[in-house]
Amino acid sequence: MKRFSFAAPGSAREAVRLLAENEDARLMAGGVDLGHEMKRGIRSPSLVVHLSRVARLDGITLNDGRLEIGALTKIQALESNEVVLEHAPLLAAAAREVATPQLRAMGTVAGNILQRPQCWYYRDPDSFCLRKGGKHCHAVAGDNRYHAILGGGPCHIVCPSDLAPALLALGASAVVTAPDETERTVPLSELFVGPGVDPHNEHVLAHGEVVTRLVLPSSAGLANAFLKARERTAWDFALSSVSALCDTGPDGAVRSARLVLGGVAPNPWDAAEAAESLVGRPLDDDAIGAAAAASVRGARPLRDNAYKVELTQRLVTKALERLRGD
Amino acid sequence: MIESMKSDAIRGPGRVPVRLKVNDREVELSVEPRTTLLDALRQELNLTGTKRVCDSGACGACTVLLDGEAVYSCMTLAITCEGRSVETIESLTGSSADAPALHPIQEAFIAEDGYQCGFCTPGQIMAAKSLLARNAAPSHEEIRRGMSGNLCRCGAYQKIFAAVGRAAHEMSGEG
Amino acid sequence: MAKLVKTKVEFEGHIREEEVVVERDDLTAWSAASPMTHVGEPRPRIDGPARVTGAAEYTSDVRLPRMLWGVVKRSPHPHARIRAIDTSPARALPGVVDILTHENCGDISWYDESRLLDSTVRYHGEEVACIVAEDEQTALDALDLIAVEYEVLHHVVDIEAAAEPTAPQIHPGLKPGGNRTAEPSTYLRGNMEQGISEADVTVAASYRTPCALHSSFETHGSVVSWEADELTVWDSTQNIFGVRSGVASKLGLPLAKVRVISRYMGGGFGSKNDVGKYTILAAIASRRTGRPVRIMLSREEEFLSAGHRPPAIVNVELGAKRDGRLTFIRARSLSTPGAHGRGGFQVCGPFREYYQCDNVETVQDAVYTNTGPACAFRAPGYVEGTFALESAMDELAGKLGMDPLELRIRNHAERNQPRDMPYSQKHLLEAYEQGATAIGWKGRRDTASPTATGGRHAASGTVRGIGMASQGWGGGGSPPSYALVRLNPDGTFDVMTGTHDLGTGTKTVMTQVAAEELGVGMDRIRITIGDTLTCPYSLLSAGSLTVPSVGPTVRAAAHDAKRQILDIAGSLLDVDPGRLSVADGVISDSGDSSRTVSVDEIAAKIGNYMVIGKGARGPNPSDVSVNTFGAQFAEVEVDTSTGEVRVLRVVAAHELGRVLNPLTLSSQIEGGVFQAAGLALMEERVLDPATGRFVNPNFSEYRLPTTFDVPKVESLFVGPPDEQSNNTGAKGAGEPPIIPTAAAIANAVSSAIGVRIRELPLTRERVLAALKERR
């Protein structure tokens, strides 16, 4: 790890100012993901702005049927918090599948959704890949068993987060403080950006902008399921994950549904077409089969990862069967 | 002496003083901001019970308690522990060097053979302490889950589960 | 009186004859009926408190005054020539004390065909330079300041590609050429043509196992310190005497000037059998700087350069009569030692030994590749070979419509066929029977067999299957090994033997053996191991050697001490020492139980006149082969929608002779099973096809089993003590549990889903592909 200076400001405003004044300063929250990049020499900021002393950036509250989750809320808090369990059980389920007890105690919700890709070429300090400013995506000619099947190109990373797809499915927005101290609200559907638009960043936040909290509507009572396929039973990033949410009317017909995939595309992948296809009909086998097929429509697998197409379809099927109560 | 720090003071990149509590003792470290808690414990304080194995938050061997919470010390910067309390494996043992009083978790690891080479053991024991503080009577599945952030390459898992179960039993006073 | 005799020594599937110095070994083996106080009891580890408190000092914990910290600069390329190295910016960094490169480290040969630091690098991670500095961080900072100009050469990392005549040559001058490490090693018995013509049913298939990394939690490394011309090396090793001779030979030192210490070590699994470059680099830097030097590898370096189980491809053909009797076995293996060394692991050993068959042909081939050097990894060769053979046996059973266990019973080998001699004892059939009962083999349905219709459905979308596989391994131990037992004036004993405790419990079981023989409590004994200066020679701790080699040695030394104590007691009590025995620290006359004297009283009486017992490991029996045998049964659950495999249960039934300590032995069994579960399900080195670089050298992407990935293991020990093996009747257990597990798991998966997967690990991708094949 290269040397750096350190500051732990007492307010978000000061943090924003420090970032604005130092072009290669980086924010640190839980420190796990940035620490990992810094240890490998992938990023070497000259200043680390640590958020631990910033007050009121953590905590979970319910206001007018909307959940507000402080950006620095620890992932472990989402697992067992009563408000989350009642109003966003999908998020609690996703939080339980993140990493390990220690990492859930260290990592924050904002850090988790903004974590950098796990691509082994990106994480290799000796590999100067497209995402790091190089000319090529090394996954194309390399071993791409874990890379994107949807939305990839020219870079083929996948979204490593479990919370981001769940939050997107839940219709969450990020509240962001800008260097001029204004606040803006960015829906998660607009927060992430694919490599076709920007091969170097996974989100639209500018340098100096700080996510202070996430807001999302209550999904109390809606059927939901979070399923994650991985090589190892625990402590593993998703080969594919499905965040599914569904509102079913008294007649058994689906009124609305959300399906968001993780681990298969550079960003949380909103399988909107698949979710739409469910609306207005009961969750029967035909509907589930059609939605599963639609969820991976347009998939363009690389040499080594075609299995993820089938895996994702099966995971979607399983998730929808679970929503049905199987 | 450390001057009282302005909250937005920029510190480093050279060595800076960091005050924290380690095993109930106030200590003042002189470390660079990039120094991890693990390296500070092992290299500055010579507390070598905490092991460096993966140095990337992927094995659990460096687990310590930070304000009572189990964390990976290899992915925690020492400077972020300013004013906080750290407990390492060395905190569990009684003070007498001749007849160190073992913690019930340590006794249970010995009785159940919950280790082989012993290199992951300090981290396992600290993770177990954190688990039992949250859940005094964990089920088998809860033990699996609570201990899932600690790998053991020798493969002592089955006996680690037994050791944690035994320790829970002993500590609840039923033993 | 000492004399030279010839004895056969088996090590990891290789048999060789050695001349050994034999001293008196007049001890008869403990029999099954011998009453035992300590041996056979589930004793907790005597060094438990040190291990659970963090007080145990491992090599990586050694801190010496004025110690420098060393780090190694490594090649980012799999094959390159070093054109130039500029170390001056690194030298200019305050705190940097010395830098070694191929230009200044001396001409020390390594791997026969390379140098300690060579101007050609042949794998990603090969050593290029070494920096020592006042602290670790400074040394690491200096790494980036060393500028190396490489001429990148063509590389080849795939074993099949390396065997092609057009492949880039890794050692162009070396015979026999074409990247071959040697002429293929062949074995033939009987008449293959006849065996083929007699076969009613045949199977032929190719099986692949991945490169797996030991991943010892303590990495390789040393702390070295010179005092005048004497060198002390703290090393994380399973072979202190081997490291001593390696260091002495590389540095041109007399053996007596080198001391190697390994008191606690954090796992080895075969990877720490030899002297490492880090040790020699540290020793050279220490001599140049006049200060102690520590070099411990980082986790990434451990992955890149500290050894592994190399990938293997095994082509198998089996033929059998309709009744299942094998008429021929043919196997051809291809593997690689990496970029250096000769390899030579016995991948085809299982084909020659496991089953009764008159006609057997095996060919073992190996080629160099631009990958890190391979080394022994817990049953080297046998894990790979057993996966191939035991998978093929199940495929043969499927074709014959026969129960796979029945097929194995019909082909039970009564004799050691390659060595053409009987076994000292073999209780494999009991292991089959007990293991089958414990797992519920009879209730099993086999989808792979044409007589069955489908796996047992445990829940919607999941199927379960049970599979099994056999293992055969040496484990008989060998000379040379020596121990000393000293009586102190207070009645306590020192036991000294130059063995190791890798986490296996060596110290504890050796203390049990000594206590048993001496007739005193274990708390009266202090054992010292892992120090070449204070301990007599013992073998490396590998190949399941330690218990059957050092155990009888410690017993012999304790017996020698006891004999002297009883002689003294005899003169004190005025009785024939032959009538005396000792139990619980009290010596008594078998004819007159009122005449007693305690060991403490004798010790106090003789004071500093020391009783020193000496023991040596005797030769192996010349007319029988001593082996371990076993069978493991695995039950798995496969999610047919997502391809997830979970291993629910493993029953491990092994014949290991006498059980010295069932607590630590069952730990060994469980550990072997869990490591093999990793091999079967998730562990795999990934090399970039374009650049030849190792892309997953870390615990995030090289996955080890977690608490959720391990099955419940039930260990069963069958058969009596092996009284012909050695005076304790115990055999080695390090390797046996890892050998059959992956095959048993793969057979269980095949049984569950009805499709055979011939390549490990059983990833989601492979299982999904197999399920697709089924539909």
Q: How many Cα atoms occupy the beta-carbon half-sphere of B101 within 13 Å? A: 3
User: Which positions ≥6 away from C172 have C-beta within 8 Å?
Assistant: none
Q: In this predicted structure, what is the pLDDT of residue C455?
A: 43
The residue of chain B with its CA nearest to that of A101 is B149
Computed over every residue of chain C, the mean pLDDT equals 95
Q: Write down the catalytic residue from C735, C759, C765, C773.
A: C735
Separation CA C731–CA C472 (nearest Å): 12
* Residue A11, domain extent: 1-54
Phi and psi based region of residue A298 (left: phi greater than 0; alpha: psi -120 to 50; beta: remaining): left
Q: Is the dihedral of CA B100, B105, B110, B111 positive or negative?
A: positive
Separation CA C165–CA C677 (nearest Å): 36
| Residue range A291-314, pLDDT digits in tens | 999 999 999 999 999 999 999 999
Same-domain pairing of C84 and C125: yes
CB contact under 8 A, C218 and B51: yes
Mean pLDDT of C223-240: 98
What one-letter code names the amino acid at C154? H
> Rg of chain A over CA atoms, in angstroms?
19
CB contact under 8 A, B7 and A53: yes
Interface of B with C in 28-57 (CB under 8 A): 32, 34-35, 39, 43, 46-56
Contact C84, C149 (CB under 8 A): yes
CATH 1.10.10.10 describes domain B104-171 = no
Q: In this predicted structure, what is the pLDDT of residue B95?
A: 56
CB contact under 8 A, B100 and C675: no
Inform me whether the pLDDT recorded for B98 exceeds 90: no
Same-domain pairing of C142 and C236: yes
Same-domain pairing of C414 and C453: no
Residue C166 lies in a domain: no
The CATH number of residue A305's host domain is 3.30.390.50
Q: Is the dihedral of CA B68, B73, B78, B79 positive or negative?
A: negative
Residue A100 lies in a domain: no
End-of-domain residue from the set C421, C455, C485: C421
β strands within C297-379, DSSP E? 312-320, 326-338, 360-368
Residue appearing with tokens 């590998």: C542
Q: Is B164 on the interface with A (CB under 8 A)?
A: no
Would you place residue C450 in the very low, low, confident or very high pLDDT band (cuts 50, 70, 90)? very low
Inform me whether the pLDDT recorded for C458 exceeds 50: no
What one-letter code names the amino acid at A205? L
Number of helices followed by number of strands (H, E) in chain A: 12, 12
Comparing CA positions, the residue from C386, C375, C301, C322 lying closest to residue C349 is C386
Inform me whether the pLDDT recorded for A121 exceeds 80: yes
Contact A48, A26 (CB under 8 A): yes
CB contact under 8 A, B109 and C266: no
| Residue range C593-632, pLDDT digits in tens | 889 999 999 999 999 999 999 999 999 999 999 999 999 9
Q: In this predicted structure, what is the pLDDT of residue A210?
A: 93
| Residue range B111-154, pLDDT digits in tens | 999 999 999 999 999 999 999 999 999 999 999 999 999 999 99
pTM above 0.95?
A: yes
Residue C159 lies in a domain: no
Q: Is C609 on the interface with B (CB under 8 A)?
A: no
Separation CA C424–CA C402 (nearest Å): 30
Same-domain pairing of C576 and C494: yes
Q: Is A105 on the interface with B (CB under 8 A)?
A: yes
Computed over every residue of chain B, the mean pLDDT equals 93
C735 counts as catalytic: yes
Same-domain pairing of C193 and C324: yes
Other beta carbons within 10 angstroms of residue C284's beta carbon come to 24
Q: Which residues of A touch B76 (CB under 8 A)?
A: 31, 106
Q: In this predicted structure, what is the pLDDT of residue C206?
A: 98
The CATH number of residue C449's host domain is 3.30.365.10
Would you place residue C341 in the very low, low, confident or very high pLDDT band (cuts 50, 70, 90)? confident
Would you place residue A285 in the very low, low, confident or very high pLDDT band (cuts 50, 70, 90)? very high
Inform me whether the pLDDT recorded for C19 exceeds 90: no
Q: In this predicted structure, what is the pLDDT of residue B174?
A: 59
Mean pLDDT of A49-75: 94
| Residue range A220-277, pLDDT digits in tens | 999 999 999 999 999 999 999 999 999 999 999 999 999 999 999 999 999 999 999 9
Comparing CA positions, the residue from C149, C57, C75 lying closest to residue C117 is C75
Separation CA C39–CA C551 (nearest Å): 11
Q: Is C299 on the interface with B (CB under 8 A)?
A: yes
What total number of domains does chain C contain? 4
Q: Identify the three-state secondary structure at position A156.
A: coil
Residue C164 lies in a domain: no
Q: Which of A2, A102, A103, A235 to mutate to test the interface with B (most CBs of B within 10 A)?
A: A102
Comparing CA positions, the residue from C748, C148, C74 lying closest to residue C467 is C748
CB contact under 8 A, C670 and B157: yes
What one-letter code names the amino acid at C748? A
Closest Cα in chain B, distance from residue C113 (Å): 32
Other beta carbons within 10 angstroms of residue C153's beta carbon come to 17
| Residue range A139-179, pLDDT digits in tens | 999 999 999 999 999 999 999 999 999 999 999 999 999 98
Chains that touch B (3 or more CB pairs under 8 A): A, C
Separation CA C337–CA C374 (nearest Å): 5
Comparing CA positions, the residue from B148, B146, B122 lying closest to residue B134 is B146
Same-domain pairing of C223 and C130: yes
Question: What's chain B look like in SS3?
Answer: CCCCCCCCCCECCCCEEEEEEECCEEEEEEECCCCEHHHHHHHHCCCCCCCCCCCCCCCCCCEEEECCEEEEHHHCEHHHHCCCEEECHHHHCCCCCCCCCCCHHHHHHHHHCCCCCCCCHHHHHHHHHHHHHHCCCCCHHHHHHHCCCCCCCCCCHHHHHHHHHHHHHHHCCCC
Computed over every residue of chain A, the mean pLDDT equals 96
CATH class of B16-91: alpha beta
Question: Which tokens belong to A157?
Answer: 């990373």
* Residue C253, domain extent: 62-153+215-305
Q: In this predicted structure, what is the pLDDT of residue B100?
A: 60
Same-domain pairing of C439 and C416: no
Comparing CA positions, the residue from A149, A168, A154 lying closest to residue A298 is A149
Same-domain pairing of C492 and C389: no
Strand order, beta sheet including C493-496 = C525-528, C493-496, C482-487, C611-616
User: Which positions ≥6 away from B95 have C-beta within 8 Å?
Assistant: none
Map out the domains of chain B as residue ranges: 16-91, 104-171
Separation CA A181–CA A20 (nearest Å): 11
The CATH number of residue A18's host domain is 3.30.43.10
Would you place residue C765 in the very low, low, confident or very high pLDDT band (cuts 50, 70, 90)? very high
Give, for C14, the enclosing helix (H) or strand (E).
strand C14-22
> What percentage of residues in chain C have a pLDDT greater than 70?
97
The residue of chain C with its CA nearest to that of B49 is C54
CB contact under 8 A, A311 and C708: no
Closest Cα in chain C, distance from residue A246 (Å): 22
Q: Is A45 on the interface with B (CB under 8 A)?
A: no
Would you place residue C457 in the very low, low, confident or very high pLDDT band (cuts 50, 70, 90)? very low
| Residue range C59-94, pLDDT digits in tens | 999 999 999 999 999 999 999 999 999 999 999 999
| Residue range B12-39, pLDDT digits in tens | 999 999 999 999 999 999 999 999 999 9
Interface of C with B in 53-92 (CB under 8 A): 53-58, 60-61, 63
Residue appearing with tokens 């943090």: A15
Separation CA B105–CA B103 (nearest Å): 5
Interface of C with B in 502-541 (CB under 8 A): 502-505
Mean pLDDT of B41-47: 97
